[in-house]
Amino acid sequence: GVLLAEGVGVKEDDTKALELFQNACEKGNIWGCSNLGSLYRSGEGAKKDPEKAVELFTRACHRDDSFGCRNLGTMYKNGEGVKKDSEKAVELFTLSCKEGNMSGCNSMSWMYQYGEGVEKNSQKAIELYNRVCENGNVLGCNNLGVMYAKGEGIGENSEKAVELYRRACEGGEMLGCKNLGWMYEMGTGTEKDLQKAVELYTRACDGGEMLGCNNLGILYQHGNGVEKDLKKATDLYLKT
């Protein structure tokens, strides 16, 4: 089911993946329930049904599936299929993180960074982002880079931010590519290189990061690092 959902080695088929996850969940496989919930949340392979997703994530979480707990926490954080409850989200992210789920730890870091559902604690956020990044979660690397770039809870260090954004981008996190492009465009923490910024914004945009498309559009609009092309700029703005 996972291979079909992600198109790994086979043609992507969300409908078939949904069927396989449904069968697995009905037979008591908690990962099947969690993956099935993700499809209902996104509306891939089935009609979007956030309430159904919450039901499935809850079932998975109650059987100690860390991904189910993390996903359920996200639903409470965003108010998807359930009444928004930041404190409940924190509880679920913490549970997921304690089980070693780095996505859950990253989400918990974000809650500490912005003081949502828990008292704001930049030091705790940095500590968790470091742990997440060192364990291979590249979104955590990007988020830690943001804190270094802003000097939030730690001394401002643009060079360190560039290093972390690059690590995130090379790991496939398009937000990291967009942020790294910004650093090259501004010449912050690295030598200014508009052509490199264009390359990174393009990669981010092609990977679905809409702010990358917007920033690329600005460069095309003004002919910075690339030949001026108002039509291309307009197309990019419309894409966002």
Decide if pLDDT at 5 tops 50: no
Decide if pLDDT at 71 tops 70: yes
Q: Considering Cα of 234, then 235, then 238, then 239, what sign does the dihedral take? A: negative
Contact indicator for 185, 199 with CB cutoff of 8 Å = no
Give the span between the Cα atoms of 117 and 97, in whole angstroms: 16
> What confidence tens digit (pLDDT) does each residue in 46-63 have?
889 999 999 999 999 999
Contact indicator for 35, 5 with CB cutoff of 8 Å = yes
Decide if pLDDT at 146 tops 50: yes
Q: What is the CA radius of gyration of the chain?
A: 20
- Residue type, position 234, single letter: T
